Chains A and B, each alone.
Chain A
């Protein structure tokens, strides 16, 4: 059973991102395994349930990589160091769901499509190495997309069972590597002078062709 914890970021401006868990859910989460999950409410895809969790100091990366390769994990696992914010995740998931709905996916599954949509270009294998798990990953963000509450909680429970991670108490947002992010997305210093990194990155992935 996992003892992992997640972190989630609350900034005043981002407050609306989070579905506030009911008291019951809080008791359940904290009572059972302290795992915090956060809902991404995508207004443009109201029929989909999307939830993410953060796992820090994951100890069984190679095991997880094997499970992913054999299709035994039905959620997306990302390296935390490349993800700027929940909005960053939301824009990628939203775009991937658009591709799925319109049958224009470039990959075989919605989960890989999400990883591709996070990427600044359309190189599938490159996006998997950059954003997916690799041998050097230790902090992991999971993303689960489902059509029903049952299916979602099944996916989430499965992750909690499979991921061996530490309990983390601070919840100060995503720990990303800013220089790596500038580099991968080609963020110029000019653009950072007029707006946030988050808005720059999001615009790049939303408008890529």
Chain B
């Protein structure tokens, strides 16, 4: 049994099972307006990049969905459907509404810490938003799961890490207005673990002033 979960511009998500386990099929499709050969290559590249990063992040101690099967003919990843999680965005909305900022502050610190692990491993996510982080309840705390690595790259550049944080800041503050304090917690968590926190922070301030533009040139 396979059912459609969501349909976007670049892909579809289906729910199915793998050896009886809940499984999410993430299919990327081709964009009709792009050149077919180029498009095939791009779609394939994003698929393989996503797979590599899902696995590499685990080695760095970041929880990501388990991958069961990669179908490179249909550009589909079959992964663990983590139904016990809540999207970070929804979690924030819900807890802000209930006035539970203490829980949020801890979680945000944890999200920042997790991004530091990612950057310490010289991976930049490329699309850090509060929709691409899942929140998983553990016994005494909340852990975060990173997803959606289609735009991730290997990079040790301070510039790239700064842009990663800048993108998150923009997305976070526009989705969750009046939450500068929470974003500060994310940065605090980041600085608690990132090897190059000082330079990345000053890069972030620099990017805030000029916008992310420059990175688009290269």
Interface residues of A, Cβ cutoff 8 Å to B: 15-17, 40-44, 86-87, 90-91, 94-95, 98, 102, 186, 188, 190-191, 193-195, 199-200, 202-204, 206-207, 209
Instruction: Please name the residue on chain A nearest to B66 by beta carbon.
Output: A199
Quick check: A43 and B52 within 8 Å, CB to CB?
Answer: no
The 4 A-B pairs at the shortest CB distance, nearest first, are namely A16-B20, A190-B61, A207-B51, A199-B66
**Roughly how many angstroms separate A168 CA and B80 CA in the complex, as a whole number?**
33
Q: Scan B44-70; emit 1 where CB is below 8 A from any A CB, else 0.
A: 000010011011001111111011111
Residue with the greatest number of chain A CB neighbours at <10 A, chosen from B17, B21, B69, B70: B69
Q: What residues of chain B lie closer than 8 Å to A44, measured between beta carbons?
A: 18, 69, 71, 78
Beyond A43-B18, A207-B51, is A91–B63 a contact (Cβ under 8 Å)? no
Asked if B38 CB lies within 8 Å of chain A CBs, one says: no
Q: Which of B64-109 contact A (CB under 8 A)?
A: 64, 66-71, 73, 78, 80
Quick check: A194 and B58 within 8 Å, CB to CB?
Answer: yes
**Roughly how many angstroms separate A190 CA and B48 CA in the complex, as a whole number?**
23
CB distance from A40 to the nearest CB of B (A): 7
CB distance from B216 to the nearest CB of A (A): 29
Q: What residues of chain B lie closer than 8 Å to A186, measured between beta carbons?
A: 59
CB distance from B15 to the nearest CB of A (A): 12
Quick check: A209 and B55 within 8 Å, CB to CB?
Answer: no
Asked if B152 CB lies within 8 Å of chain A CBs, one says: no
- Checking B18, B23, B52, B61 against A193 with a beta-carbon cut-off of 8 angstroms, the contacting residue is B61
CB distance from A94 to the nearest CB of B (A): 5
Quick check: A191 and B69 within 8 Å, CB to CB?
Answer: no
Quick check: B63 and A194 within 8 Å, CB to CB?
Answer: yes
Quick check: B58 and A203 within 8 Å, CB to CB?
Answer: yes
Quick check: B16 and A203 within 8 Å, CB to CB?
Answer: no
Q: What residues of chain A lie closer than 8 Å to B70, measured between beta carbons?
A: 206-207
Q: What residues of chain B lie closer than 8 Å to A207, measured between beta carbons?
A: 51-52, 54-55, 67, 70
Beyond A16-B19, A41-B19, A42-B19, is A91–B59 a contact (Cβ under 8 Å)? no
- Checking A90, A98, A188, A195 against B71 with a beta-carbon cut-off of 8 angstroms, the contacting residue is A98
Q: In the complex, given contacts A87-B21, A190-B59, A195-B66, what are 15 additional A-B residue pairs having Cβ atoms less than 8 angstroms apart?
A: A15-B20, A16-B17, A16-B20, A41-B19, A42-B19, A43-B23, A44-B78, A91-B69, A190-B60, A191-B58, A194-B63, A195-B63, A199-B66, A206-B51, A207-B51
Q: What residues of chain A lie closer than 8 Å to B67, measured between beta carbons?
A: 202-203, 206-207
CB distance from B117 to the nearest CB of A (A): 8
Quick check: B20 and A41 within 8 Å, CB to CB?
Answer: yes
Quick check: A202 and B51 within 8 Å, CB to CB?
Answer: no
Cβ contacts A to B, 10 pairs, < 8 Å: A16-B19, A43-B16, A44-B71, A102-B73, A190-B59, A202-B67, A203-B54, A206-B69, A207-B70, A209-B51
Quick check: A202 and B48 within 8 Å, CB to CB?
Answer: no
Instruction: Please name the residue on chain B nearest to A97 by beta carbon.
Output: B69
Quick check: A188 and B61 within 8 Å, CB to CB?
Answer: yes
Q: What residues of chain A lie closer than 8 Å to B51, measured between beta carbons?
A: 206-207, 209
Instruction: Please name the residue on chain A nearest to B121 by beta carbon.
Output: A190
**Roughly how many angstroms separate A91 CA and B80 CA in the complex, as a whole number?**
12
**Roughly how many angstroms separate A202 CA and B64 CA in the complex, as a whole number?**
13
Quick check: A17 and B54 within 8 Å, CB to CB?
Answer: no
Q: What residues of chain B lie closer than 8 Å to A43, measured between beta carbons?
A: 16-19, 23
Beyond A202-B68, A209-B52, is A90–B59 a contact (Cβ under 8 Å)? no
Instruction: Please name the residue on chain A nearest to B23 by beta carbon.
Output: A43
Quick check: B60 and A90 within 8 Å, CB to CB?
Answer: no
